[in-house]
Chains A and B, each alone.
Chain A
Amino acid sequence: MSIKEQIKSILQEAEIYRVQGLLNEAMIKYKIAAELVEKNVKQESRQSLIDGITKKIELLKGTILKYNDPEKTPEMPVEIQNLIKDKFAFSADKESAVLEGAIALSKFGQYERAITEFSELLKNDSLRLVAAKNILRCYFANSSVDGALSKYEQWLKSGLFHEGQIEKIRFFLENLLKDKGIERELPIADVPEEKTVFEKATIEKPVSGKGLMTDIPQQEEAEEDEFLDVNSVGIEITDGPQKGKEIVLDVAFQSGKSVSLIIPGREKTLIETFKVGLKLDNVQFYSPIAILNGSGVISAFTKIASGPKMGSFSLDLKISA
């Protein structure tokens, strides 16, 4: 290949990389071409060639700069935000799913929408604190320290949080400020009584990892009764003040489609409504690889009378659909 052909071929290569958006690769090739011209091309035609390549390099530099500009992530159209909220929430439990969706929105830089979603969760006792912290985090990520401060003050006055919670929020906010190099004493709450305190049963999150599969396979049943490992089971409360809430219970033991669950004695609402033969609709079965929703029938329900789980209840659920 003559030197001229060589240069031409390198320029072609650079051009293809540029069109493909491989800008750094294109740049490398243009520079090699320029060098070759500089060293090898005769005086008469050299300058115009160099000029041509230099122009391309300059244009490319501009494009690279523009693409590398770390501008703020744009706020997306609502449909896209809805898609993110929907597709990046994996929990079957509704409230946890809203929380996950809101966190995903904030991770995708959709701060305003995320704040709207987190604000909805402030109504929820068990998620109020985590929602509040996330709201503050969003303001900071969106470079609106003032927004965070005025939110805090608004919360102070609102009485939405009890004293322990507002203290935690204040501490959290002060740390966020510190990270920004801002030392600031924040106003303290004067909440009269702990009137918003709720004694709430913590929802246990489904544990990941291997399910507890029984080691005594029941031969006759095994064939038709095979079922994937279930780690935990979510049961929706259908009555009373906690209606609609999901309680997640760990599976202590599983044999095919039958799972044994331990219900802590404090889950009174559940315990009162359960009896053998009752069909539970809308049950979530959590396994390491999938969430299944279906229903189950209670096949045994007994109070544990001795041992470390004394006072708790043991419930056998037969997965029915």
Chain B
Amino acid sequence: MAIFNLKNREIECKVVYYGPGRSGKTTNLEYIFKTFKKQVTDQLVSIDTEGDRTLFFDFLPMGLGKIGGCDIRVQLYTVPGQVQYSSTRKLVLKGADGIVFVADSFAIRRDKNILSLKDLDQNLKECGLNIFKIPLVLQFNKRDMSSMSDGSIPIMSVETMQNDLNRQLKVPCFPASALTGEGVGRTLKESLKLTLLHLQKELKWAQK
């Protein structure tokens, strides 16, 4: 749910990083926090449990400056990916204007990616949103493992992941390594672009 303050011409919107446990959502935000210093407006807040698993969410506020005469503020969130935190995921998802789905490239997590995408679909429905309509991008994370490992770690090909996750959605997708930062910025920028275009269509702020 974007908040558009007509008087100050200020728009505040929300992008949520979703995906199975351990896929690298928090690592994405950590990299963004380190790298996009100019846009980041406050500390990265991580609420996690022992073992670095997200317990509630991560939160990172950013300012994108003026677009179409409006001051754009974005708040990035991650959900806890572990299956048992289903109700928290729903809570964090509420009011999302855009979604980044972070999938794990480990072959052993193949089913978990698919289940998490289904979970996203379901939870969006419960929030009155539609996975085919909400601005969504996919990220195939941990690609560094395919070059690093000597083949001992089975990594899925991008085609396999596309086929598993993006056959129907047909949304932009980015191979990435949240650990090295490769692809993180591109994922974020595409997500912001889609989210803002979508909002612009709805709010028509840049037309005046």
When chains A and B are docked, how far (Å) is the Cα of A20 from the Cα of B153? Answer: 12
Say yes or no: is A291 at the interface (Cβ < 8 Å to chain B). yes
Total A-B Cβ pairs within 8 A: 95
Contact A22 B128 (CB under 8 A): no
Binding-face segment, B2-10, B161-169, B180-188: B2-10
Residues in B whose Cβ lies below 8 Å from that of A67: 49-51, 53
| A294 with B45: CB separation less than 8 A | no
Are A294 and B153 CB-contacts (below 8 A) given A63-B51, A289-B2? no
- Rounded to whole angstroms, the CA-CA distance of A84 and B153 in the bound complex is 39
Tell me the minimal C-beta distance from A229 to chain B in angstroms.
9
Within 8 Å by CB of A20, from B22, B55, B56, B152, lies B22
- The reply to whether A90 and B203 contact each other, CB–CB distance below 8 Å, is no
**Does any Cβ of B come within 8 Å of A83's Cβ?**
yes
Do B5 and A87 touch across chains, with their CB atoms under 8 A apart? no
Q: Given known contacts A87-B59, A107-B91, is B53 in contact with A289 (CB within 8 Å)?
A: no
CB <8 Å contact, B152 and A73: no
The reply to whether the CB of A227 lies closer than 8 angstroms to some CB of chain B is yes
Interface residues of A, dominant DSSP: mixed
Most chain A CB neighbours (cut-off 10 Å) among B1, B6, B55, B128: B6
Residues of B with C-beta under 8 A to A291: 1, 3-4
Are B50 and A228 within 8 A (Cβ)?
no
**Chain B residue, CB-CB nearest to A73:** B55
Q: Does A295 contact B (CB under 8 A)?
A: yes
What total of chain A residues lie within 8 Å of the partner, measured CB to CB?
40
The answer to whether B109 and A290 have CB atoms under 8 Å apart is no
Q: A22-B22, A22-B108, A289-B2 are in contact. Are A9 and B152 (CB under 8 A)?
A: yes
- Minimum C-beta distance from A271 to chain B (A): 26
Contacts of A290 in B (CB 8 A): 1-4, 199, 202-203
A286 to chain B minimum Cβ distance, whole angstroms, is 10
- Render B49-93 as a binary contact track against A, CB cut-off 8 A, 1 for contact: 111110110010000000000000001000000000001100100
**Beta-carbon nearest neighbor of B22 in chain A:** A21
- What is the chain B residue whose CB lies nearest that of A70? B84
Minimum distance in angstroms from A84 CB to a CB of chain B: 8
Closest-by-CB residue of B relative to A63 is: B51
CB distance from B56 to the nearest CB of A (A): 6
Is B101 located at the chain interface by the 8 A CB criterion?
A: no
* 41-86 of chain A: CB within 8 A of chain B: 63, 66-67, 73, 76, 80, 83-84
Q: Kindly supply a per-residue 1/0 record for chain B positions 177-208, scoring 1 wherever the CB is within 8 Å of any chain A CB and 0 otherwise.
A: 00000000000000000000001001110011
Q: Are B4 and A292 in contact (CB under 8 A)?
A: yes
Interface residue stretch chosen among A10-18, A166-174, A190-198, A242-250: A10-18
Shortest C-beta distance, A65 to chain B (Å), equals 12
Once the chains bind, are B53 and A90 in contact (CB under 8 Å)? no
- CB of A293 within 8 A of CB of B6, answer yes
Q: Decide: B203 and A208 in contact? CB cutoff 8 A.
A: no
Contact B108 A90 (CB under 8 A): no
- In the assembled complex, which residues on chain B have CB atoms less than 8 Å from the CB atom of A294? 5-7
Q: Give the shortest distance, in Å, between B93 (CB) and chain A (any CB).
A: 11
Whether the pair A228, B95 counts as a contact (CB closer than 8 A) is no
A positions within 8 Å CB-CB of B = 9-10, 12-13, 16-17, 20-22, 25, 63, 66-67, 73, 76, 80, 83-84, 87-88, 90, 104, 107-108, 208, 224, 226-228, 287-295, 319, 321
A-B contact list, 12 entries, CB within 8 Å: A16-B145, A20-B22, A21-B22, A21-B53, A83-B59, A88-B94, A104-B91, A107-B87, A224-B208, A292-B3, A293-B5, A293-B7
Q: Give 9 new A-B contacts, CB below 8 A, not counting A288-B128, A295-B6.
A: A25-B106, A25-B109, A88-B94, A90-B95, A227-B204, A289-B1, A289-B203, A292-B6, A294-B5
Please list the 6 inter-chain residue pairs (A to B) with the smallest Cβ-Cβ separation, ordered nearest first: A294-B6, A9-B152, A290-B2, A292-B4, A289-B202, A21-B22
